[in-house]
Structure 1
């Protein structure tokens, strides 16, 4: 059985994909979104300004801006 894979691609201010940090791979969209909700401040703190949710390698939702108010 092949399980769907959901993961976050993190971009810097120039729009380049960050190699680190690497996000976990999830089997459900809900779990991926919940994880981002818990960790977005930490990701923003290391230079991520945008997160894109990928489903089996294809962007599945609009990008999420990671801005600390």
Structure 2
């Protein structure tokens, strides 16, 4: 998770440290929580499978 300057953003609580069983689960979670992430200062998210970059950074803005 990054801010608009590309700096990693640390989020807390339920938004922190999420792990998912599948890419679809991860994408669904982002779709459900993007506004909460944005409120924490997140402007973009990146999806990894272990150490492999799947895609991103993906903007949370239109």
TM-score (norm 1): 0.74
| Coordinate RMSD, CA, aligned | 1.5
Highest Rg: 1 or 2?
Answer: 1
Question: Following TM superposition, by how much is the alpha carbon of 1:63 offset from its aligned partner in structure 2, in angstroms?
Answer: 2.1
TM-score (norm 2): 0.81
| Map of 2:3 onto structure 1 | 12
Gaps of 5+ in 2: none
| Map of 2:41 onto structure 1 | 47
Distance 2:23 2:5 in 1: 26
| Map of 1:3 onto structure 2 | none
| Map of 2:60 onto structure 1 | 66
Distance 1:39 1:50 in 2: 12
Give the paired residue count: 59
Gaps of 5+ in 1: 1-9
Higher helix proportion: 2
